[in-house]
Each structure stands twice: as structure tokens, then as C-alpha cells.
Amino acid sequence: MKKTVLVSMISILAITGCYSQKVVKFKDNESVLDFYRQYSSYTDPGKYAYLYKNLPDSLPELCKLIKSQFIHPYAELPKYREQIPKERWNEMMNYPSVISILEGLISYDSAGLVFDRKPQDRLILGCQQNAILLASILKYRGVPARVRAGHATYIAPGFHISHAICEVWNENENRWMLVDPSMEKIDLSRDQFDISNELWLKMQNGEIDPELYGIPRVYSGLVSIAGKVCTDLASILGTEYPINQYAPILDDIFQNNQLNTNQIDLLNKICELMKSTDAIGLSELQDIYNSTPEIQLTKSFESLSKNSGN
């Protein structure tokens, strides 16, 4: 991405402190699944957990319900602008966690999570908030779930859109499956969503055109692909940071549109380890993340372009 585009897209805040992940002892695969049953600071519903008591059991109905709580600020808002005050047209920075989302929802309609929520009572939020809400509800039920950052192939023809979805543990089939609550897609095939580490390795092998990944006319290429690796890594290690958080390693891309050899080797190692998030792999990834400030999501975008994020 060219520097001029980035300057117009964002203004960058100073580093605000260390956001290293908590240390978890992964003993075996069951301990991994148990880890993904636990709330993070962003998926914990807190005092609003009561809203989850009588929700639908099926994933399709649950995704439909979640989508009924939100209006996407770019894909859906245009048809609702007459019903939504202009100051609410993009609320993505206002609701970083599930507890804040639930509080916002009941402030407009105390009935809670309902299918018939009126447009003016919905929150103007994107895919990441849809994903953390689904993960939260599933964790409440004891179902292992994790948010994944990557690129979707099914949103814009010919382009891979920056996107966040969930991976949900299918106990009957002993496997992880991809679920996109914001698009109401269940058990996506693996060629429909570019998992961050797989895409990075494809780029390193010259198998893709990086400029086809990101947000059309806003950003694409190395910054989107490398950024997703850091965001996705933090997420599978237990913290689903808001979309305005990023890792310091991206600063070199913002300035020069490139990374040095050591940075590339680091991301290569991380992406190879992410191929299998078993107890051994997660433990090693955790050690790397917590000892490498360059890849920790410690920096923030003050604001995002009205077209950025999905």
C-alpha cells in the first residue's frame, strides 16, 4: 500500500501499553478445547449472560438472530439512513466487546436478542462484532469457538475481502468448521475463506496476487495479509482485539511497503506453527507472541476510513 493512501486513511496513536497475552498451560488437545470454551475479556457477556438463556439451538437460526441485531455500516446502512441518525452511521469503535454490545442493544430495546429488532434499535457494526457475539454465545453453551481473521472470497467478485468469522468445534465430527454469522454461512469450505497463515505462506511462495486481498480502493496487499496474521494470532491465543488495534511490525509497511528479512522469517515461523493449533503449537506460539513486542497488538488507529473494515 502506498504511504499517501495510508496517511489519508488513518491517523496513528502512540503505543498505549503492553497487551501481551495471558499465559495458559496447554497440556493436551482436551485442554485446548477447554481453552476455547472460556470467555476472553472481549467475549465475556458479564451481567448480560442472562440474555443467552433461551436462544435458538441451531447455528443457522443463531446466525440469523445475531445478524438481526446489527446493520453493516457499508453494505447495509444506505437503505436505513433515513431511520438512523447520522452520528450513528458507524459505531464500530464504540462497541469493542460483547458486554458493550449487549449493553448497547438493550439500551435501545430491553427485550434483548430478538429477531424482530427494529432497524433504528440495531447497532451499526461489522463482521468482527458479529463474530465475537457468536463466539460468546457458543462459549456460554460450552462449545469451543474462536474468532479468525482473514479474507473472504464470497463478498466481492474477483476480490478477497478483509473479514472476520468464527471457527466452531464440531464435536460429532471431531473437527473445526468455519461459520460466518454476518453472512449467515455455516460450515464454509476452506477455499471460501483465506485463513491468515495459509495466505501469508502462499504469498511467500508467489502463488497469489497480494493486491487482490484487502478492501477495494482502500488498502490491499502486504499490509492486509501481514496485518491479518498478527490479528489472527492474537485471536487464537485468546484475545480478539477491536479492528483499530494493530501490531508495530506494520509500521514498516506503512512507511516503506516492505518488511526486512528478520521480520519475514518471524512471520514465516509463526505461520508454519499455525498450521496445527494443537497443545504443542499453541504453547510455542504463545511464547513467541509474549516475547515479541513487534507482533503484539499494542497500537491503535485513531480513526478508520468510512470504507475500511468489513
Average pLDDT over residues 264-283: 96
**CB-based burial label for 208 (10 Å; 0-12, 13-18, 19+):** middle
Q: Residue 306's pLDDT band (boundaries 50, 70, 90)? A: very low
Q: Residue 160's pLDDT band (boundaries 50, 70, 90)? A: very high
Long-range contacts of 271-274 (CB under 8 A, 24+ apart): 271/196, 271/197, 271/198, 271/200, 271/201, 271/229, 272/197, 272/201, 274/195, 274/196, 274/197, 274/232, 274/233, 274/236
pLDDT of residue 11: 30
pLDDT of residue 301: 83
Tell whether the model's pLDDT for residue 21 goes beyond 80.
no
Closest of 89, 175, 181 to residue 133, by C-alpha: 181
pLDDT of residue 25: 86
- Cβ pair 273, 266 in contact under 8 A: no
Distances in whole angstroms, Cα of residue 287 to Cα of each of 81, 230, 239, 282, 283: 47, 14, 15, 9, 6
Q: Give the dihedral sign, CA 55/60/66/68.
A: negative
What is the per-residue pLDDT across 39-85, written as a single tens digit (0 to 9) for each?
999 999 999 999 999 999 999 999 999 999 999 998 899 999 999 99
Average pLDDT over residues 252-278: 96
Q: Residue 196's pLDDT band (boundaries 50, 70, 90)? A: very high
Question: What does pLDDT average to over the chain?
Answer: 90
Average pLDDT over residues 156-181: 97
Residue carrying the nine cell digits 491517523: 11
Average pLDDT over residues 94-123: 97
Closest of 269, 255, 245 to residue 13, by C-alpha: 245
Q: Give the dihedral sign, CA 232/236/238/240.
A: positive
**CB-based burial label for 215 (10 Å; 0-12, 13-18, 19+):** buried
Task: Say what percent of the chain tops pLDDT 70.
Answer: 90
Tell whether the model's pLDDT for residue 229 goes beyond 90.
yes
Give the chain's end-to-end CA distance (angstroms, integer): 18
Average pLDDT over residues 179-203: 97
pLDDT of residue 1: 34
Tell whether the model's pLDDT for residue 223 goes beyond 50.
yes
Closest of 79, 91, 82, 163 to residue 123, by C-alpha: 91
- Cβ pair 225, 203 in contact under 8 A: yes
Q: Which of 56-60, 210-214, 219-223, 299-303 has the lowest mean pLDDT?
A: 299-303
Task: Say what percent of the chain tops pLDDT 90.
Answer: 84
Tell whether the model's pLDDT for residue 213 goes beyond 50.
yes
List, as one string, the DSSP characters of 269-283.
HHHHHTT--SHHHHH
Tell whether the model's pLDDT for residue 31 goes beyond 90.
yes
